[in-house]
Every structure is written in C-alpha cells, then in structure tokens.
Structure 1
Amino acid sequence: MLKAEIRKQALKDRLLLNDSLYHALNESLLKQFKTLNFSQIKNIHIFLPITEKKEPNTFLLIEWLSKTHPEIKIIVPKADFETALMTHHEYLGKDDLKKNLYNILEPQKGSLHEGEINMVIIPLLAFDKHGYRVGYGKGFYDRFLQDINAQKIGLSLYPAIEKIDDVNEHDIKLDFCITPTEIIKL
C-alpha cells in the first residue's frame, strides 16, 4: 500500500477506537515500554500526543519515567511549520505546555536542548515489517533523525503492516517499535 492510503486508513481506525479500548491499548503500551533497558539512557526525546487524533498517550510514559528514572532528562519537540524542522526542549511538566495553531502541545519555557539524545520515541500512524513508518507526511522526524545516533523507537497502537510500497531515500528506519502486545526489533 502507498503512504497516502495507509495514512487515511490508520487515522480512520484510530478515530473509531472507543475510550475504553483506547485507554487499555495505552496501558498496554506503557507495560511494554517499562521493559526497555534504560541503564545507558541519559536523555530521551518523546513526542507529545495529539489527543484529538488518538495518538498514543505518551504522558503515561513521561510520568512513569519521571517517577522511576528521575535521572533521565526528558526532551520534547516544538515544530516550526514554515521550515518543517523541530527544536527540542527540556520537559518542565504539563503546566509548561500550550497548544499551537495545529492543536499540538508544545513547551513554552523549557530550555533548548542541543546536546546528545540517546533514545527517541517516535510518533507514527503505521509501520511495516521492514522498520519504515508512515507519519503525517511533513517529514519532521525523518529530518530530525538523519543526524543523530540514538535508539529510534516507534510507538504504535496497532501491529505492523506487511509493506509500505513508496518508501524513499529520506525515510529513516526504526530500530524497534512498541505495540500493545510486543516490542518488535526491526
């Protein structure tokens, strides 16, 4: 399937999830996330969920990390839609977040992080068995991931699809993908 078709179907499927199932899937994602090895992780970049699009609730991961691994610095993105680039900021808590024009939560006062990033939790609509992902099509994460040497971990409410047919040279492969039932090494 082509990315445009996958994107359309994945968005439709997510929006059809009832609140109870959505909550249960997120709890299962958290359970899988807790099994990752954080011993060498000094900082982790995590996307903030667009709840209207029923993205995985990364606040569950952030809250667990804050309690269990307070030594790990949590970094969150801020998107510039004119350049299609992101900046990365220290997470200071929910009170520091504000929705932008696209309804995406972004940090307001968190200091800019320009240092190393050890792990990136990546949003996606779907992913395939070869480690490629379908996002919203703007390329923010592909550009960001090109120049860093970090574990690249997708977060998906659904299992892998067989194959994305229109992968291109700018698409960055995931190392792992967390689903509600397993962590898939790609």
Structure 2
Amino acid sequence: MEVYKYNKKELRRKALNERRLCSKKFVFLRSLSISRKLANFLKLKNVKNVVSYNPINNEVQPNFFISTNVNVFFTKINVESLRIAQSKNFKKGKFSVLEPFCGTYTFKKQIECFIVPALAFDKRGYRIGYGMGFYDKLLQNSKALKIGVGFDFQVKDFNIKEDKFDVSLDYIITEKRILKCRR
C-alpha cells in the first residue's frame, strides 16, 4: 500500500477541512450508530473500565450508549500530557474540550480500553490527530484495547507515515464497519 505523499501537517489540514463540511445532522446520526456499535463491542469484550473523550470540531460523539455497562473515565489535559478522571462535572479546558474538573483520578493500568478520536486513520490503526501527541503518550506501553472511532470517510486507503512514538490502534469503529487493524 502506498504511503501518503504529503506531510502530516498537510494531511491534518485536509482531514480537518473534510470533517468541518459535515452537517450537525450527519454527525449526530452517524455518532448514534457508532456509539451503539461501540457499546455492543465493549459488552462483547467484557470491558468494564474505559477512557473516552468529549468531542470537538465535528468529532464522533462516542458516549451515547457506552456509559450504561461500564465505568467511563475522561481525559484531562495536564501540562504536556493527559490525565484520566471519572466525573459527572465538566468544564471547558485547554482547546475548548469539556474536561472533568473534579472527580476520581485513576491509573492507566486500571483501564481496559481507550476510545480515541482522530482526523484520519489508516487500516493499520495509525492515526492523525491534532499534532500534540497527547494520545500517543497516553497509549504508550498500555496493554489496554485501543479503539479509534470516526466516520467511514476518515479511514484512508493509504498508509499514514508513522513516527517512532506513534501508537497503533487495535480496532476502528465507523458507522459502516468494525475494522481490525493490520500492523
């Protein structure tokens, strides 16, 4: 498979523009479908402790159905990394992401699954995010299941050039499919 010929910055810009064109209705209806698939998948895998995120910029909303069967923790930007907290109280944090502002913090080793957003994915599970490396640092050395969620058009038919610190996902769930990633 061909490696994407542009740099990550260019791919990031193109992917963000592509997602910005989605209507609110498109995002909502497909998020419902993806969230339902995700909840069923987590139930099938018997996952009890999961880290999710609150969406921005037309990202998939993964949390419609998952909270019924599992303990859901959320990411919080702390200096140059992400922390994990369980809370029902959120406020806008860095980059306007809703983050837990109080609650119980947990350790990465207690988490069985990470739900990860992206601007683009390849079929090997590599992703393009916003370029800060927060998720790669969080996922580094974790044995937990790593699931990317996105719209089907975000899964690209080329390989994203990975860097040595990039972490590959195990699965990608879209409104059309559950893709087991090839590494």
In the superposition, the TM-score normalised over structure 1's length comes to 0.86
Question: In angstroms, what is the RMSD of aligned CA positions?
Answer: 1.6
Give the distance between the partners of 2:84 and 2:100, measured in 1 at CA.
Answer: 9
**Partner of 1:76 in structure 2?**
74
Q: By how many angstroms is 1:37 displaced?
A: 4.1
**Partner of 2:100 in structure 1?**
107
Give the distance between the partners of 1:140 and 1:103, measured in 2 at CA.
Answer: 15
Q: By how many angstroms is 1:31 displaced?
A: 3.0
**Partner of 2:174 in structure 1?**
179
Q: Which portions of structure 1, spanning 4 or more consecutive aligned residues, are displaced by more than 6 angstroms?
A: none
Mapping 1:83-94, distance limit 5 Å: 84-90=80-86, 92-93=87-88
In the superposition, the TM-score normalised over structure 2's length comes to 0.87
**Partner of 2:123 in structure 1?**
129
Give the distance between the partners of 2:50 and 2:160, measured in 1 at CA.
Answer: 30
- Gaps spanning 5+ residues in structure 2: where? none
- Could you tell me whether the CA contact under 8 Å between 1:3 and 1:164 is conserved in 2? no
Give the distance between the partners of 1:164 and 1:4, measured in 2 at CA.
Answer: 15
Give the distance between the partners of 1:7 and 1:153, measured in 2 at CA.
Answer: 20
- Gaps spanning 5+ residues in structure 1: where? none
- Could you tell me whether the CA contact under 8 Å between 2:77 and 2:83 is conserved in 1? yes
**Partner of 2:61 in structure 1?**
57
1:154 to 2:158 alignment? no
Give the distance between the partners of 2:136 and 2:116, measured in 1 at CA.
Answer: 10
Give the distance between the partners of 1:66 and 1:131, measured in 2 at CA.
Answer: 25
Distance 1:101 1:145, change over 3 A: closer
SS of the residue 1:79 aligns to: strand
Q: Deviations over 1:60-118 (max 9, x none)?
A: 1xxx2333x1xx211111012x4x2111101x32xx10001421111011111115110
The alignment covers a number of residue pairs equal to 173
State the percentage of identical aligned residues: 30
